[in-house]
Chains A and B, each alone.
Chain A
Amino acid sequence: MAKKLTHDTDPQPREKMTVTAADVGELDLGQMSPEKIVRAIERRCRGPLAEGAQETISKLLADGQLDEARALDAASRKVCGQDWNEIVLSHPFDGKSHETPCPKCGTLVRWTAPVFQVA
């Protein structure tokens, strides 16, 4: 008899369990297709940086205020969310550099296609 799998929506408290690095399996990349390797990482467009923010971020970095620079970068963006893996997978895996405008928000993204070793 086949096991029936159901979604668990039971709100009852569960036994507390700690997941550590020792419990994390290692992927055998040799068994994964290039597309699966690309999709193993979700990539999303962060949206455009507000005008003038880059200058302030540069000043913060020069002053060593890294946390403030990060926070300003995050706060100065209009979230886009475009799936960038779709862009990556529409290009050859040739290690070439690209500058591609986001199809959703127009932000110019610099990215580099992956290369895969052929056994």
Chain B
Amino acid sequence: MPIAASDLLLQGAASRPVDDATTSGGARDAANKPEFTQLTSNSVVAAISDGADTRTLTVTGRNTAGAVVSDVITLTGAVEAVGVVTFERIQRAVLSGADGARTVTVRQGAGGATRATLEPNRTSVSMLFQNSASETGAVNRYEKAFWLNNHGSLTLNSAAVKLTADPAARIRIGLPASKDDTATVANRKAAPGGITFVDDNVSQSVPGTTLEAAAGIGVWVAQELLAADAPIRSTYTLELSGTSV
């Protein structure tokens, strides 16, 4: 079977800061998924598993007043469990443990649209640049994600990574010169060495132009806020493309 889009997985880095003081980057964390759809309006969050499941899902985000709040939802198997906290946005959702069989779906409100999916062995979804604010001067922050070729045997050829949409024009991405690198920066305001960042108008090849089966490529993401930048509620997307037999 050729490589399908579902074989190319976005995964988080081991160090995912929520402040400007802690380490950012590191190795690939297969249990994290830095990808979900943000709430479209203020809402509670609901969660449902696809079978017997009593884990807890801790949802963290901002309430309508802008404060960071959490809601702990205890799963009730394949019956939807509805939280009690109204969120303006979600920052992360973390399961209390891994399960090799169960998929948990996070919804916007009771019976609402799917906003995140935690497949087997995934324990968290999270956004990058949580709690990052503009300052009196321009400020850049750097965090990392990974693309993984999860196909059992095939190499992704002509592999390239792109920022395919960034309506707010605040994001740039850069690739390390080696695959599955583990580089970190002391904090997310420190620029990673040797990385060239580009916007959505430039495509970047994976080193060697191939991504072998079970190999990952790190993607450093730079958020560049202007001096005294206004609040931005935006989404960007990353793409890994290539060919296979």
Residues of A participating in the B interface, judged by any CB pair closer than 8 Å: 18-24, 26-27, 29, 32, 34, 37-38, 40-47, 49, 54, 57-58, 61-64, 66-67, 69-70, 73-74, 84, 88, 95, 97, 102, 107-117
In the complex, what residues of A have CB within 8 A of residue B180's CB? 21, 24
A112 near B169: Cβ-Cβ < 8 Å: no
Tally of A-B Cβ pairs under 8 angstroms: 145
A37 near B162: Cβ-Cβ < 8 Å: no
A42 near B209: Cβ-Cβ < 8 Å: yes
Q: Which of A23, A64, A74 has the most CB of B within 10 A?
A: A64
In the complex, what residues of A have CB within 8 A of residue B209's CB? 42
Least Cβ distance of B213 to chain A in Å?
5
Residues A41 and B196 in contact in the complex (CB < 8 Å), given A58-B167, A69-B164, A84-B202: yes
Q: Which label, helix, strand, loop or mixed, suits the secondary structure of the A interface?
A: mixed
B164 near A38: Cβ-Cβ < 8 Å: no
Q: Which label, helix, strand, loop or mixed, suits the secondary structure of the B interface?
A: loop
When the two chains form the complex, which single residue of A49, A84, A117 contacts B193, counting CB atoms closer than 8 Å? A117
Interface size on B, residues (CB 8 A): 51
Report Cα–Cα, A8/B40, bound state, in Å.
Answer: 55
Least Cβ distance of B108 to chain A in Å?
9
B197 near A111: Cβ-Cβ < 8 Å: yes
A111 near B199: Cβ-Cβ < 8 Å: yes
Report Cα–Cα, A46/B204, bound state, in Å.
Answer: 10
Residues of B147-183 at the interface with A, using a CB-CB cut-off of 8 Å, are 153, 155, 160, 162, 164-165, 167, 169, 172, 174-175, 177-180
In the complex, what residues of A have CB within 8 A of residue B194's CB? 29, 34, 37, 114-117
A21 near B215: Cβ-Cβ < 8 Å: yes
B178 near A26: Cβ-Cβ < 8 Å: yes
Residues of B94-125 at the interface with A, using a CB-CB cut-off of 8 Å, are 113, 115
